């Protein structure tokens, strides 16, 4: 006869089993419950043999049974833990495989793209090929760096990297050469490199202080709500037509078939009395079909009643400056008081003149009112996003601070209104540089004229979407100022302006922001930093390589807060562009032939197709109010089809290779391998990512991709 079961023990046993099976699956729980029920059945069964009964009163039997069940539970737990660990490792392996697959696909895409572009672009490169002096210097630098890397790797595997060979020992030829190399680099190469690094570091700190001061000035303007104030409001009660000054509007263009319609359409619907405004379309195109398209567009608006004329020069000398100078020599210009200038891709809002011209009223010493640029394609690709960061800082901080505190800044060449008397007093447009806008601004400032910048008046325009177009634009923007500095340095010293303005022009406007900035950024991060990996006796501290550049990038992104995720790409891209800016600065300073090249920045007309119909709709009420008549034969659909035809007849685009950027990528990647041997963490990561940035740009993967 079986004994009565001990329910106290049964309750404890169930609690232990629940504790041990919390992480098991449902099947294991059901199996354990089934075993428990079978044990209970055996305990209560009257027909069970005496030796199968559970004798709870006997402590030894209870302990034996508990130990047996505990061992069984432990084995199950260990099997479950092993199974769970296997699943964890399997999941980690799957994630690792996915990451490796992503990296391999990216690398394969990069290699295929590079191979394809090398095959299709072997005859002509996007940066001038072998004719560039800087290119030849970089190529020599690359060969030197690769030889040094092979030498250092050989020394590393021989153990000399950690314990240099003793010249007194018996060594082979390689050991003697390496020992001599250590002496030469420590005694003769590292000291001048360290001196150059210290000089560039000082320049870097000075330029960083200048940027911080500009940021503080911008914060002060925001805090005190400082802004120019107009003395008259043309949007107020209806005024007589004679109260509106005569305004001449100029649109210089050259072979810009993609964007000519949007600028002409936007200017023709400006909210200004038609008898007080004349539009000049200054076409320097040498493509006959483009000339015909622009003529047809001008004729269309003439039929609608707009006062617009078409001008074409037969002799295209002086580029944009020559075009503007020729237009200002017309006899009827003397009847106008102000001139507004818009490039071919700019689209002023209808109230642009009403927001800018009033600031001239009562300020006879005011020469220029400059509006801010806004971009229709700033989110098109990574290149346009990074340009938006740069230009947002330029307008929000540099132009606004200089306009408020100095009444002077560089004219941006477009989206501005000039007093014609100030242009004539300053000598008019000159063809001596490729930055005619900065030239006329400096000369007007030396004559005592003042400028006003309007940060809240924006004019839409388009950013270059290909790296080739952007590179050519930046070359012109950075070579021209050095040309101008050579030409006007003595004029600045002889001028009658205060010494404070002379110092601002020479040391801040020209030297610090136009010469020192591209010099140290290229020399420090593309030359000195890789060399310090092979000449470790000279070094750059981590705060120069990482911390200060990171802080400066953060400050640069403040005017464009939506671009904060692009801080790191912005920092790397700015260093990548330093080679182009440095080359342009040197060519302009030393009067190389490339500094006098003017290449029109190609635009794609992203906004033309969507804005053309909008111009048609906006033009209706203005035409009725200004007694303009619309030609019945013209329609938005016809203009769209004409635009599409003009785009199809354009030149075929393709992505290019850029040798200087590619060679610098290999230099930086080789230096990163050398830094890895020395276990320099921050320097390794900076060189690695900067090298990848140069590689991406060199393969033309950053802008628009053409299939």
Read off φ and ψ for residue 249, nearest 5 degrees.
-115, 125
Is residue 439 annotated as part of the catalytic site, yes or no?
Answer: no
- Asked if 518 contacts 477 with a C-beta cutoff of 8 angstroms, the reply is no
Is residue 284 annotated as part of the catalytic site, yes or no?
Answer: yes
Instruction: Choose, from 343, 437, 439, 611, the residue flagged as catalytic.
Output: 437
Strand runs (DSSP E) across 493-628, as ranges?
none
CB-based contacts of 26: which residues, under 8 Å, 6+ apart?
none
- Asked if 29 contacts 83 with a C-beta cutoff of 8 angstroms, the reply is no
Instruction: Choose, from 271, 284, 343, 439, the residue flagged as catalytic.
Output: 284
* Other beta carbons less than 10 A from residue 568's beta carbon: 12
Q: 240 in the Ramachandran plot: left (φ > 0), alpha (ψ -120 to 50) or beta?
A: beta
Report d(CA 690, CA 695) in Å as an integer. 9
Report d(CA 355, CA 372) in Å as an integer. 12
Looking at 558-607, list the stretches that DSSP marks H as alpha helix, in order from N- to C-terminal side: 567-589
Q: Indicate the DSSP class of residue 245.
A: P
Structure token digits, residue 304: 């609608």
Residue 441: which of 468, 474, 406 has the closest Cα?
A: 406
Report d(CA 667, CA 665) in Å as an integer. 5
Structure token digits, residue 340: 């507004």
Which three-class secondary structure state does DSSP give residue 226? Answer: coil
Residue 328: which of 399, 418, 221, 255 has the closest Cα?
A: 418
- Asked if 459 contacts 347 with a C-beta cutoff of 8 angstroms, the reply is yes
Residue 623: which of 236, 348, 306, 355 has the closest Cα?
A: 306
CB-based contacts of 536: which residues, under 8 Å, 6+ apart?
678
Which three-class secondary structure state does DSSP give residue 228? Answer: coil
- Terminal CA-to-CA distance of the chain, rounded, Å? 91
Looking at 631-680, list the stretches that DSSP marks H as alpha helix, in order from N- to C-terminal side: 636-648, 659-677
Report d(CA 587, CA 591) in Å as an integer. 6
Strand runs (DSSP E) across 267-365, as ranges?
277-283, 308-312, 338-341
Helices 567-589, 548-557: crossing angle, 10 deg rounding: 100
Report d(CA 191, CA 675) in Å as an integer. 20
Which three-class secondary structure state does DSSP give residue 283? Answer: strand
Report d(CA 42, CA 79) in Å as an integer. 28
Active-site annotation, residues: 284, 437
């Amino acid at each position: 006869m079986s004994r009565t079961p001990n329910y106290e023990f049964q309750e404890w046993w169930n609690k232990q089993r629940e504790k041990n099976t919390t992480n098991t699956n449902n099947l294991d729980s059901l199996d354990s419950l089934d075993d428990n029920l079978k044990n209970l059945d055996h305990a209560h069964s009257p027909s069970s043999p005496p030796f199968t009964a559970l004798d709870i009163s006997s402590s030894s039997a209870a302990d034996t049974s508990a130990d047996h069940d505990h061992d069984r539970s432990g084995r199950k737990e260990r099997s479950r833990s092993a199974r769970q660990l296997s699943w964890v490792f399997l999941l980690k392996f799957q994630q690792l495989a996915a990451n490796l697959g992503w990296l391999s696909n990216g690398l394969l895409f990069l290699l295929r793209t590079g191979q394809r572009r090398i095959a299709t672009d072997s005859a002509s490169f996007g940066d001038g090929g072998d004719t560039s002096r800087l290119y030849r210097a970089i190529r020599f630098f690359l060969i030197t760096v690769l030889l040094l890397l092979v030498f250092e790797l050989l020394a590393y595997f021989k153990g000399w990297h950690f314990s240099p060979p003793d010249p007194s020992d018996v060594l082979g030829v390689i050991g003697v050469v390496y020992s001599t190399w250590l002496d030469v680099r420590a005694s003769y190469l590292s000291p001048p490199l360290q001196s150059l690094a210290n000089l560039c570091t000082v320049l870097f700190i000075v330029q960083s202080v200048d940027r911080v001061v500009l940021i503080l000035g911008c914060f002060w303007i925001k805090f005190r709500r400082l802004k120019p104030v107009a003395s008259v409001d043309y949007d107020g009660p209806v005024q007589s037509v004679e109260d509106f000054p005569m305004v001449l509007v100029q649109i210089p263009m050259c072979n810009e078939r993609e964007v000519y319609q949007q600028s002409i359409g936007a200017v023709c619907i400006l909210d200004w009395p038609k008898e007080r405004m004349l539009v000049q379309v200054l076409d320097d195109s040498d493509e006959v079909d483009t000339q015909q398209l622009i003529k047809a567009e001008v004729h269309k608006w003439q039929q609608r009643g707009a006062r617009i004329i078409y001008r074409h020069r037969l002799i295209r000398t002086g580029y944009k400056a020559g075009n503007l100078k020729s237009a200002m020599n017309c006899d009827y210009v003397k009847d106008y008081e102000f001139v507004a200038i818009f490039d071919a891709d700019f689209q002023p809002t209808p109230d642009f003149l009403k927001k800018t011209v009033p600031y001239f009223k009562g300020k006879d010493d005011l020469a220029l009112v400059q509006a801010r640029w806004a971009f229709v394609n700033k989110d098109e690709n990574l290149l346009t996003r990074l340009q938006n960061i740069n230009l947002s800082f330029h307008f929000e901080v540099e132009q606004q601070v200089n306009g408020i505190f100095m009444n002077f800044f560089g004219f941006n060449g477009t989206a501005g209104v000039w007093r014609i008397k100030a242009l004539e007093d300053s000598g008019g447009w000159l063809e001596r540089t490729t930055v005619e806008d900065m030239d006329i601004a400096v000369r007007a400032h030396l004559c005592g004229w003042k400028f006003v910048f309007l940060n809240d008046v924006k004019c839409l325009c388009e950013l270059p979407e290909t790296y080739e177009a952007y590179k050519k634009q930046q070359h012109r923007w950075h070579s021209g100022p050095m040309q101008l500095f050579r030409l006007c340095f003595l004029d600045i010293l002889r001028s009658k302006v205060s010494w404070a303005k002379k110092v601002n022009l020479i040391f801040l406007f020209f030297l610090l922001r136009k010469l020192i900035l591209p010099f140290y950024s290229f020399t420090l991060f593309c030359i000195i930093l890789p060399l310090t990996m092979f000449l470790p006796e000279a070094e750059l501290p981590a705060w120069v390589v990482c911390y200060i550049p990171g802080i400066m990038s953060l400050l640069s992104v403040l005017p464009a807060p939506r671009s904060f995720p692009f801080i790191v790409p912005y920092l790397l891209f700015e260093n990548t562009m330093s080679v182009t800016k440095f080359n342009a600065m040197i060519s302009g300073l030393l009067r190389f032939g490339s500094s006098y090249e003017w290449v029109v920045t190609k635009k794609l007309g992203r906004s033309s197709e969507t804005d053309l119909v909008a111009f048609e709709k906006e033009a209706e009420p203005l035409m009725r109010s200004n007694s303009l008549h619309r030609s019945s034969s013209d329609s938005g659909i016809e203009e769209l089809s004409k635009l599409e035809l003009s785009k199809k007849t354009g030149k075929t685009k393709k992505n290019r290779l850029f040798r200087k950027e590619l060679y610098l990528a290999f230099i930086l990647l080789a230096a990163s391998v050398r830094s890895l041997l020395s276990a320099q963490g921050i320097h390794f990561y900076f060189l690695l990512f900067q090298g990848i940035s140069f590689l991406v740009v060199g393969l033309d993967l950053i802008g628009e991709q053409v299939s």
